[in-house]
Each structure stands twice: as structure tokens, then as C-alpha cells.
Amino acid sequence: MPIAVPADPFAEIATPEGVQVHLHRTTAFKTVLLQWAFEAPLDEGAAARALLSDLLTRATRRLPSLTALAARCEELYATELTSHASAWGDRHVLRFGFETVADGWAGRPLFREAVELLTDVLHDPPLECGRFRTDHLEQERTNLVHSIQGLQDDKQLHAFRRLIEAMHAGTPFARHGWGTLEEARGLGEPVVRAAWSALVQRAPARLFVVGDVDEDSAAWAAGRLAAGPHAAPGPPVRPPPLPARAPQELVETQKLAQSKLAIGYRLPAQLLPGSAAPLLALVLGGDTFSRLFKRVREAEGLAYGCSASVAVESGTLVFQAGIDADKAPRVRELVAAELLAIARDGVKDEELALARRALLRRLSDLRDSPRGLCGFRHAALLAGRPHELVEAEASVRRAAAADLQALAAAARLDTTFLLEGKA
């Protein structure tokens, strides 16, 4: 008999601190993954909060160096501490967490010991006279500046970022989760300390736990990590309104062997619920079966690579291709032609079936990844979309060709960005 898959393997636990706890208790993994996720507005404070993701995880008052902290992690069966700052729509998300051996395999209360270590990381850094250490702050500020500068080294990512910044200029959706170069360079200790206090003491937080942990232990962990009441998470992210302007074209020139083309379309918010948007992206440019791969790369040989992706939180459909600069006009024509063809004639049964299979496979693969399970659930909660995998899969199966056709018909060209390569 097939094993029944629960509609929602996560239990949701309310805590006095106002933290949402999402616990997936399972013995399927020998480890326990914990993610403590702060949510803040994606604003000018992003750089200071992003710096905290590395500043806090380098030392604590009791473990005042990277070496001491690493040694303690080794004592905890090589527990891995993690931290990451990212942008999601108009939210700034900072995740702190750990992955450790489950208590049953360790033969000791390892989960609680790891929680206590993470609590120190968040709430008890090695301050000097109430201030962050100057050497730690300066080093992490330099690292953050270098990381932001390094975004330009990946030319495809650079083209994508420039497109997003132009499409959503003047809104939080244009911002990167690390802030700007100017913001990072200008970070001083009082600003960083204020960001730390606001984040760990008041910012909305959610706790995700996957592994063999009971509800009482998960609730206890939330209380330790919160260390007091936190604001409730905000409402789901909504795409920004469509701007009242004509499509824009931008060109940037660099010394490159290959040019990068990025084309951004807006999708109306009322058509984004359901699975039509990710399925449309797959049909257009998600794999070797996709229309643009077959036509742009294989039939006409215009691109070294081409793809399509969708961000439901911002209502954005993006096409990207690595090309010779003189091929840009033709690639743009083909992208517009394929969207128009779907809007006029719909999608074929075979290509919808292939896209549906690919998306269902991606969702199914998440069950083998604690990080994937937590990431999917958090993103769905932020977007106000179904956060149970079973329901998400059902949504994919329900999507009809007419849904993709309607979305293609409503897609509106917004911005074209060409990173033009010059010898």
C-alpha cells in the first residue's frame, strides 16, 4: 500500500512571545534543523541588519573568538551554525539557525545545548563597554562591502539585478538584501547596535524546526531565542501596483566576451494565485522542452543559454539570455512572439504536461530536504499562498491551459536591460 502523506506535516504552535513556531516532527533525518527567521521592512536599514548576520555568528561573550565558537560547535557533534540575509518582496528576512545531530543519535540533549548556543549568539555578543568590538565591526563591514561589490562579478546576476532595480525603482522591491554599497560603507557602531536591538528584541520572528523534537521542546526553544515579546508578522506580501509609464530600454557597456540580455514583464496580481505563473515560466524557458530553448537556442542559434523565471511576490516575469549584442533585437522579438502565441492559441497539452511534471518533481524533492521544506513554507507564508506541499501539488494539477493563456495575454512588457559586451 502507498504511504499516506499528511496534508500538513508541520504543527503550528503559538507562544507567549508572539513567535510563530512551525514544527515538523520526524525521525526521517538523523539531524535536527532549526531556523529562526526575523522579518523586517526592506528599507535603508538593510545593510546594518545584513552585517549582523556575520557579526553575531563570529563570537559570543563566553566564546569571544571564531576559534572558540568553532570549538564549541565541534563539542556539539559538529553542529553547524548558519546565518543569511535576503530580500523577499518588500521584506528583509534574516535567518539564524543550526543543524545538529538528533538527541536519539547523540545520546545527550544536544538540541537544547545548540539552542542555548544560538541564544548566546543572538543576545550575548562580546560587547566592550556596551559596544560592539571595533575590530569585529570593521572586519565585517569590509566583508559586506566586498560582497556587495562582488555582485557585479556574476554578469548574469548583475544584469538581473539592474533589471529589477529599474523595474521597481522607488519601491522596496528594488532593494537587495545586503543594502547598497554606500549604506554599507557608512555603517557606524551606533547604527549597527540599534539595528541589533530592534531585530532581536522586537522584530517579527518565526521558528522552523524539522527533526525529532517534541512540541514542548520547540516551544521552549522559541522562548529562549525570543527572550521577550515580538511583534506579529505582517500581512502577506502584495505585488506593487503597475507603473503608469511606457516600457523602458537600458544599456550598460562592459568589457565582456558575452552580452547579457534581461527582459522584464509585469503580471497582474489578480492572476497570480494558483500555479499558472510558475508553469508559464517553465513552458517558456524552464528546461530543454521549453519554447525559447527550442527556438532561440536550438532553431536560430541566437543564445548560448536562455531561461525564464517568475517572482509571484513582485508579479515579475523575467527572461534572460547570454548572447552576442547584435542578436538582442531578434531575441526580444522571439520572446514577445512566443508570449503572443500563447495568449492567442494557448499551450499544447504536451508542453503543459511536461511543465507540470517538472514543477511537481521540484515540490516532491523538497520532502528530502529539511532546508527546502522550511524555505518553501516560509516563502509561501510570506506570499499568502498554500504552505502545505500537498495543497501546492494539488494547485499544480488543477492548473489549466486556459489559466496560462490568460496570464500570457495579460503580461505587459516593462523593462529591457542589455549588458553589452565590448572587446
Tally the C-alpha atoms within 13 A of residue 269's C-alpha that lie toward its C-beta: 11
Residues contacting 113, CB < 8 A, separation 6+:
76
Residue 133 phi/psi, 5-degree rounding, is -60, 135
Asked whether residue 79 is domain-assigned, the answer is yes
SS3 category, 209: strand
Its domain, for residue 343, covers 248-422
Amino acid identity of 40?
A: A
Tell me which of 157, 191, 226 is where a domain ends: 226
Nearest alpha-carbon partner for 210 in 410, 35, 382, 79:
35
Torsion, CA 296, CA 359, CA 367, CA 205, rounded to 10: 90
Same domain, 347 and 408: yes
Same domain, 121 and 255: no
Contact 411, 339 (CB under 8 A): yes
Asked whether residue 265 is domain-assigned, the answer is yes
Reading phi first (left if > 0) and then psi (alpha if -120 to 50, else beta), residue 315 is in left
Per-residue pLDDT of the chain (423 residues; tens, 9 = 90+): 334 446 789 999 989 999 999 999 999 999 999 999 999 999 999 999 999 999 999 999 999 999 999 999 999 999 999 999 999 999 999 999 999 999 999 999 999 999 999 999 999 999 999 999 999 999 999 999 999 999 999 999 999 999 999 999 999 999 999 999 999 999 999 999 999 999 999 999 999 999 999 999 999 999 999 999 999 999 999 999 888 899 999 999 999 888 999 999 999 999 999 999 999 999 999 777 889 888 888 888 888 778 999 999 999 999 999 988 889 999 999 999 999 999 999 999 999 999 999 999 999 999 999 999 999 999 999 999 999 999 999 999 999 999 999 999 999 999 999 999 886
**Number of separate domains in the chain:** 2
Same domain, 173 and 303: no
Same domain, 316 and 365: yes
Model pLDDT, residue 303: 80
Task: Tell me the CATH number at 181.
Answer: 3.30.830.10
Helix, strand, coil % over all residues of the chain, rounded to 5: 50, 20, 30
Strand order in the sheet with 31-41: 11-14, 20-25, 205-211, 31-41, 91-101, 80-88
How far from the centroid of its chain's Cα atoms is residue 294's Cα?
29
- In 378-391, which positions are buried (b, 16+ CB within 10 angstroms) versus exposed (e)? bbbbbbebbbbbee
Same domain, 105 and 181: yes
Asked whether residue 190 is domain-assigned, the answer is yes
Model pLDDT, residue 7: 72
pTM equals 0.94
Asked whether residue 2 is domain-assigned, the answer is no
Same domain, 169 and 274: no
Asked whether residue 242 is domain-assigned, the answer is no
Contact 290, 315 (CB under 8 A): no
The radius of gyration of the chain's CA atoms, rounded to the nearest angstrom, is 23
Contact 325, 297 (CB under 8 A): no
Same domain, 207 and 277: no
Asked whether residue 95 is domain-assigned, the answer is yes
Tell me which of 164, 195, 226 is where a domain ends: 226
Lookup: cell for 276: 499558472
C-alpha separations of 205 from 6, 45, 200, 237, 377 in Å = 26, 17, 9, 16, 14
Same domain, 94 and 126: yes
Same domain, 214 and 356: no
Same domain, 121 and 85: yes
Asked whether residue 392 is domain-assigned, the answer is yes
Torsion, CA 400, CA 405, CA 410, CA 414, rounded to 10: 110
Same domain, 368 and 269: yes
Say how many C-beta atoms besides its own lie within 10 A of residue 144's C-beta.
Answer: 25
DSSP for 369-417, please give it: -HHHHHHHHHHHHHHTS--SHHHHHHHHHH--HHHHHHHHHH-EEEEEE
Model pLDDT, residue 293: 86
Same domain, 307 and 418: yes
Model pLDDT, residue 1: 35
Q: What angle in degrees, to the nearest 10, is found between the helix axes of 46-55 and 189-202?
A: 80
Nearest alpha-carbon partner for 377 in 390, 369, 386:
386
Asked whether residue 1 is domain-assigned, the answer is no
User: 563591514: which residue's cell?
Assistant: 141
Please give the sequence-ordered ranges of beta strands (E in DSSP) within 26-106, or none if there are none: 31-41, 80-88, 91-101
Tell me which of 226, 256, 288 is where a domain ends: 226
Contact 273, 279 (CB under 8 A): no
